[in-house]
Structures are given as C-alpha cells and as structure tokens.
Structure 1
Amino acid sequence: MATLAARLRSFTAGDLFYSFRRSRTTVLATTVLALMMLGALLAPLVAPHDPFDIASLSLLDSELPPAWMEGSNPAYWLGTDTQARDVFSSILYGLRISLFVGAASVLLAAVLGVFLGLVGGYFGGLLDAVIMRVADVLLSFPAILVALLINGVLRGILPAGQQESAALIVLVLSIGLTNWVQYARTVRGSTLVERQREYVQAARTIGVGSLRIMRAHILPNVLGPVLVIATINLGMAVLTEATLSFLGVGMPATMPSLGTLIRVGNEYLFSGIWWVVIFPSATLAILVLAVNLLGDWLRDALNPKLR
C-alpha cells in the first residue's frame, strides 16, 4: 500500500502529469471521455429506461420530442423513437457496445501488430520481408474496404442462424485484423534500432534466448509509440464500427451500437423525427473528438524532442 502511494505521488509530481494539468483541452477531453465510459459501463444502473425490455414499452409514447419541446414527456429527456424506446437510454447502451468493440479491436490489433513487428524486426530476413509485404498490401487499400472484406468472409463462414449472435465477435475481428499494420511497422522500426544496442548484444553474449530478449529487453522500450497509436486508433475503431453498422453489416437492431442507432434514425430524419439520429450522431462525434484530443496530447507529451 505504501509502495502504491509512493508511486502515485511520484506520478503526480512528474512531467507527464504536469503537462496534463496545464492543458485545459486535454483535461476537458479526458473528463468527457471518462464520463462517457462510466455512463456506458453503468448503463443498466443509470439509464432511466431499459430500451430492450419490450414489456415496458408503450407505442403511445413513440416519437415523443425532447423534454424541452412542446408535446414532450419529461420522463424522456431526449425523446423517443418510433418504437417508443428512450433515446437517451438507447445511447448509453449503444455507447457501451461501441466502446467495447473499439477497445477490443484495438487490443487485438495492438497484440498482433506488436508481436509481428517484434518478430520481423528482431529476426529480419525472409520472415520480415513477408510480414512487411503483407502490411504494404493492406495499406494499399482503404481500411474500411479491408474491414468490409474480412467482415464478409467471416459472415460467409458462419451459418445464417448464428450471424446475428456472432456479430460482436465478427466486428472485433474485422476491425482488429485491419488495423495491426501501424503497430507492426512502428514496432519493427524501433526493434531494428534496439537490437543493435549494447544491452541486447550483452544479453546474447551471456546466452539469453531470443524470446526472453524480445519480451524483457526490447518490448518495454518500444511500447511508448504503441500507447499513442492505440489511443488514437480507439477513435478510428469506433468510427469504423459505426460505419459498418450504418452500412448494415455491423451490429443488429436487437443489439444497437451508435452506428446502428444512426442508421435506424436516418430512415426517419426527413419525417421530422430528427432527434432519433441527431443525438446518437453528436455522441459519436464528441466521443471520437475526445479520444483524438487525448491521443494528440499523449503523442506530444511522450515525444522527447518536444520536451
């Protein structure tokens, strides 16, 4: 306990936390992001209504405007959709799914990319050439097209009756297998430098195995850029998920993410029920903006050339 308190004091007295406190934009972005994550995590507890409980829905409450407009119901802060589901509660549950898909896909991409970058950069030769050529091929196509291709292949493998239930896993795999390239290229470049360092040469001399050298010596020294890439890629992963769901190949209407809510609400935009699509869209934009602002600060704070 004393060690944890000492580390906490050391962190708060360090340059990184000082830089964080000085940036009001970063503090605001982090606060907004933390509130969104907390609201998504505690959605079953903080949501005023359960949008998935059909027994609690009444069609008489459908298409109600936000609480500050005429004809509204104060119980529904942001109005209701055509199925009488509370828009605010739907956003909280949708945010939960979007953040989970984004975080899980970033974790998958980071683990895969770091592993391939370490292996390719350390061993070099044909293995490195194959990994980098595959990365070059993936970079030659827009990420959304690669994600659509992987999504289509995975859905084609699954039986028709399991596609909806496996949509979450398919999305995570589609986005994760698309975004590993940035991690691999970054880690490979750092590994090429680190493997020539004296401490690595000394470890080889005393007989330390390659796996242990990569895990215990090289990996800790190449994780700084990976953290920055992961933070920024979280916003991109959430956007990719929203795009796939908007195109109809993402989360189903029974498990709506923000992208699904936007797709469904877009169908009624010109009928005057604008709040069904505007509020989920605004939530998505604010979420991605907050993540990008945090990522930009982290990139500058961890760059020794800017200190």
Structure 2
Amino acid sequence: MSIRVFAPATVANVACGYDVLGLALGQPGDEVIIKKSDKAGVRITEITGDDGRLPTDPLKNTVGISVIKYLEAIGAKEQGLEITLHKKMPFGSGLGSSAASTVAGVFAANELLGKPLTQENLLPFAMEGERVACGSAHADNVAPALYGGIVLIRSYKPLDVIKLPVPSELYVTVVHPHIEVATKDARQILKSNISFQRAIEQWGNVGGLVAGLYQEDYDLISRSLKDVVVEPVRSILIPGFESVKQAALDNGALGGSISGSGPSIFSLCKGEEIAGQVAEAKRKAFSEIGIHCDVYVSPVNQAGPIVLD
C-alpha cells in the first residue's frame, strides 16, 4: 500500500511579518511517495531532483526525521515505511523547499496510516524538519504548506497558529532568480536589535495587513506591505532587488518583498491579469541585468497538501 502527496511552496514573512506570517502558493511544490514495509523503521529509498545534495539518512533528512517523530507520537515506532522524495523546487530559493517536502511526508504518512491525527496536529512534526534544515523549528513555511491559505503564528510557546481570510481576487506572483541565498546566511546578517520607532512602524504594518485581509481592503493591504526591519538588510544579497520591486509596483502590484530568506521576490496583486503583467515586468527587470529566472503566478493555495494517488 502506498500514497503520493504534493505539498506547495510558500512565501514566508509576507513583507512585514518576519517569522509570523506565511502563505501557500499554487506552484511549485514537492512530491513524496510513502509505502508500507514489513521491515520496521523509516527508510528513504530514493531522492530525485536534488543532484545528490540531500542525505538519505532519515535522521538527517527533513522528511525522514519528521515522519520518525510522528510515528513515535502515535505509538508506531516499529511501523515500516519507505519514502521516495521528488524535489521539484530549487534549493535556497526562499520558497520553503524543505517545508514542502516535509509537509508532504508527514501528511502522506498520516493518510496512509488512517489519519490518527488531525491535519492541524501534524504541525509540530513538520517543524522538526525545519530544525534539521536550518537549525530553528519555525513555522512560517510549514504552517501555510500544511494548512493552506495565509497563516499567522501568534505564538510559539505555546504554539498558536491562526488561519487568516484570503480576499477573493488576491493573486501572488513570485520570481526566482537563478542565484542562491542560504537561509543560515540570510539569518546571520540580520541585526539583533532594532530601534523602538522601527518596531512601532513594523507592528502597525502587520496589524494593517491582517485587517486588510479580513476587510478585503486591497488599498489597506497595499499600504501595509512594507518591511522596515528585514528587507533593508537582506535585499543587499539580491542583485537588482530595487529595480525588480519597482517594476512590479509600476505594473500594478499591491506590494511585495523578499520571499522568505530570498532570493525570490513575491508580489501580491488584485486579479489574475495584473498578476500576469507584474510577473513579466519582474522577469524583464532581471533579464536586463543578465539574470535568468523562473516565474510563478497563482491565487493563494487554500488546499495545502493534496493526495495525488
């Protein structure tokens, strides 16, 4: 018996919400196949699309460790599972590559074993995969990948995650330039302290963005998509960032910023037509400085992981 699951890429931070906001994309994403085995324990039998970069040792692999922790929690440590991981996302893109595969794995295991836990209760195990990937069990990628939609992580102790409403015409464009920014490097350059005035400005934008989503107020969403804490520092790692961001705004984007730790740049847009125009404008801006890129356009993915077969 086996199951194949897709889980989506994500945009973490969503401009002003560093480590507390995230949203799920329609594409790209990763696929995981899990099948039961008579041999006890978790084994990773195959990984594709990683150019040999990912470990097959389940204790060192984000999918493997998450599934192991999940089996321990449900009292099934001896259950035999074989995992095949198909990486269909770029590494170091800022699109939650590790989160997508981790969520696909934990979700698939739970489905295969008869859903002993609710989908929401799978989150702590997916977060363990993030601990392996970047040293911190943060949820701003795994939570939207698992729950779908837009999420707010109100607290980590205790873990408190809230799904936010998604306005009906909200679209996301993401451009991924063919450069790589390691999450650990992007975290290391951040300042450990910020001014009180800067913090107040950021809090106001987070509150405004959440209010804009609830009210379906696109103007308020636009005014709130400003990151005065992280973007000024991390943007120096992305060639052409300012010109790409301005090209998006000039073509009708509500706003945008760095997706996760970068180098991908996301924009929120009202309607599919504007989103398409913004995507092409960002692609052109990168092209003008000699950087090739991938472009993705989709509504916010409200389904999260799905069973393919």
**TM-score class normalised by the smaller sequence:** under 0.3
Greater relative contact order: 1 or 2 (C-alpha under 8 angstroms, separation 6 or more)?
2
Scaled by the length of structure 1, the TM-score of the pair is: 0.24
Bigger fraction of residues in helix: 1
TM-score by length of 2: 0.24
Greater Cα radius of gyration, structure 1 or 2: 1
